[in-house]
Amino acid sequence: MSLNLQAKLLRVLTDGLILRVGATTPRAVDVRIIVATHRNLRERVAAGQFREDLYYRLAVVPLDVPPLRERRGDIPVLVDYLLKETSRELKVPLREIEPEAIAKLRDYEFPGNVRELRNLVERANILAPGPRIGADDFFLHPAEQKPTAAAGELPAGLELPKYLEQIERGLITKALREAGGVQAEAARRLGISRSDIAYKIKKYGLSGS
């Protein structure tokens, strides 16, 4: 947020007034502001990059959420929740996860925090060839793992055609969901024709308008 925009936000918080685009009379608003950042705002205040008066306006009830690598005990619970959520969204059977897979995730540094964990779980849900997700189904960045961790190995018993079909089915399902079920929009997002997506929807038994 630029310093100019910070000043405008501070004015809203101080006066409780906004001026809508095209309006000439300020309008009173009653709002509560919740903000989130991964930056150290105290350091940015000291560097002149964040207004001190705005900082103290916002920092009424500060909550410090440690990064995922500092609360590894939360990983099994989060994985269980994300597996259920992504299985529902992707319309795929709920898979079980092997203890070795959880151990591998707990050894990972997670530079992308919970968002990265969600992406890993969703990818494993799409790509895992069997009913259970194992350690080999999580492809983690080697630099963020312990040296003993095996990274980038292909899953045992991989059958490439089925593997690629799982990827395609998952991507089409996600595109349809994001497009509200509209095939034309989903096709545009995937870069394929309407006839192609109609054929693939029929092939995989998916639904789309």
Q: Residue 113: phi, psi to the nearest 5? A: 55, -150
Rg of the chain over CA atoms, in angstroms?
Answer: 23
One-letter identity of residue 86:
T
**Residue range 67-158, CATH number:** 1.10.8.60
Query: Residue 154 and residue 119: Cα distance in Å, rounded?
Result: 18
Q: Residue 132: phi, psi to the nearest 5? A: -120, 145
For the segment 93-108, what is each residue's pLDDT rounded down to a tens digit? 888 999 999 999 999 9
CATH topology classification for 159-209: Arc Repressor Mutant, subunit A (1.10.10)
Q: At a CB cut-off of 8 Å and minimum separation 6, what does 183 contact? A: 176, 194, 197, 198, 201, 208, 209
For the segment 156-189, what is each residue's pLDDT rounded down to a tens digit? 556 677 777 878 888 888 888 888 889 999 998 8
For the segment 54-81, what is each residue's pLDDT rounded down to a tens digit? 999 999 998 888 889 899 999 999 999 9
Domain boundaries, the chain: 3-58, 67-158, 159-209
